[in-house]
Amino acid sequence: MSDLIAPIVSMGAIGAVLALILVIADRKLRVKEDQRVEKIQELLPGSNCGACGAPGCRQFAEQLVSGEQSPAGCMAGGPEVAKKIGSLLGVEVKVGLAQKARVLCLGGNLESQPRAQYEGVRDCQAVTLQSGGDKSCVYGCLGYGSCARACPFDAIEMTDNGLPFVDDFLCTGCEICVAACPRHLMAMKTEETKILVGCSSLEKGKAVKQVCARGCIACKLCVKVCPQDAIVMDGNLPVIDDKKCDDCGICVEKCPTDSLVENLSNQLNRVSEKKKAV
Amino acid sequence: MKLILIFISASLVNNFVFTYFLGICPFVGMSKRVETAISMGMATTFVMTLTGGITWLIETYILDYFGVAYLRYVAYIIVIASLVQFVEMYIRKTSPNLYQTLGIFLPLITTNCAVLGLALFAILRDYNFIESIAYGFGAGVGFTIAITIMAGIREELRFSDVPKAMQGPAITLMVAGLLALAFMGFSGFLTI
């Protein structure tokens, strides 16, 4: 019997003392929390992407509760999450169309040859520092995948052709890749944009033609063929008015270098079949 | 003098991570960024130092006194768990961001075998109260050194061209192995 008493007393004493310390600590150190913060945090994507301006989802939830942010501020969650949060907080939410990342360059390894051989850190920012990169086109996608690594949702993958492919299902429109691209080639587009201009080169036609098979050569053919007069030239690149465009696809068909594409996920990375383009 | 020797022995020569291979879980899990690695190291150091002292007190005044040394493991785990709980409350109060970053690894200090290992080693080596604390502090500093070096390497590793088959945990464990080899250079420096 005495064998039992010693362990029970000693362990009981240790347990009791520690419990007492924890109880006191809990009283002194308790953090008061709004119940809604926890609930909102569960609704949020939880990737801490920072697109809303807050450091993370938790802080965004706190700012929502204190009224500093609107539920639509969560880019990654999109309209659905915003509505749920809105109903939780009793706020009416106005949401726009979901935006998806788009790459404004179609010149991959097949279309645009490198002008130098690059050996070094496989990162677009680092490549740009080496006299503007190894790509012959100084406006084009470098293809080292900084956007793919930056994406918190793994929505971007580099294709064999050295261009980013955006998975619309995974892309939440958080705009992290937009900031990650040193050449500013990532842009957010909603489904209102029907045709994408797949070139960002500001050069004149001849200079573009020399470095890339799919670059816009500023021939203005699209401007002429558009039945809606939705296309105008801005410098050496066409600009399409989304409101006028009726998605007839004539410009995509007529573009000699195939640098206009339909804004559909499966069209963005297709390799050109036009003779002049490759 | 002996205190300094114990400290250096625990932190460098017999580094818990690199020579005893204790605490590998947080070592691999929390070493992605230097900043969080240092915070994790500090939290672990704090827990280890306190553990060193408190387990000695419990060993001497309770377990030895009642003659129930066989309850050592249970008693130590309770102490460590409560300490970690306390640290968690404290961090949550003082630094919510750090609390977020440490996430699940903070409560996991409880099951960090380096902490329990430290308490058991200190008893095995018959350290007195002050020596136990020095040993715990040294072990914590050693853990911090290890995890910070690892985080520094892994930050650079992100930009290097690692073969696909070895990306992620594989290359991390290889780096850990090489670091352990490097730390073997300290062996035989001093014996206590």
What pLDDT band is residue A278 in, cutting at 50, 70 and 90?
very low
pLDDT at A174: 83
Q: Of B136 and A29, which is predicted with more confidence?
A: B136
What is the pLDDT averaged over residues A70-76?
79
What is the pLDDT averaged over residues A245-250?
87
- B124-133: buried (b, 16+ CB within 10 Å) or exposed (e) per residue? eeebeeebbb
Asked if A126 and B159 come within 8 Å (Cβ–Cβ), the reply is yes
Q: What is the pTM assigned to this prediction?
A: 0.59
pLDDT of A78 > 80? The answer is: no
Are A62 and A37 in contact by the 8 Å Cβ rule? The answer is yes
Q: Give pLDDT tens digits for B96-136.
A: 777 877 766 778 787 788 899 999 999 888 899 999 999 99
Please name which of B55, B167, B121, A111 lies closest in space to residue B63, comparing C-alpha atoms.
B55
**What are the residues of chain A with a beta carbon less than 8 Å away from any beta carbon of chain B?**
6-7, 9-11, 13-15, 18-19, 21-22, 25-26, 29-31, 55-56, 58, 121-123, 126
pLDDT at B142: 94
Judged by a CB distance cut-off of 8 A, whether residue B50 touches chain A is: no
pLDDT of B155 > 50? The answer is: yes
The alpha carbon of residue A18 is apart from the nearest alpha carbon of chain B, in Å, by: 7
Judged by a CB distance cut-off of 8 A, whether residue B69 touches chain A is: no
pLDDT of A275 > 80? The answer is: no
Distances (CA, A) of B76 to A105, B24, B48, B63: 61, 20, 12, 11
pLDDT at A1: 65
pLDDT of A273 > 70? The answer is: no
The per-residue DSSP string of B90-136 comes to: HHHHH-HHHHHHHGGGTGGGGG-HHHHHHHHHHHHTT--HHHHHHHH
CA distance B192 to B184: 17
Q: Which residue of B has its CA nearest to A149?
A: B158
Q: Give pLDDT tens digits for B1-34.
A: 888 989 988 888 888 898 888 988 888 888 888 8
Q: Give pLDDT tens digits for B57-83.
A: 988 888 888 888 888 888 898 888 888
pLDDT at B111: 76
Q: Give pLDDT tens digits for A200-228.
A: 999 888 889 889 988 999 898 999 999 88
Task: Determine the residue type at A43.
Answer: L
| Window B:152-191, CB contacts with A under 8 Å | 159-161
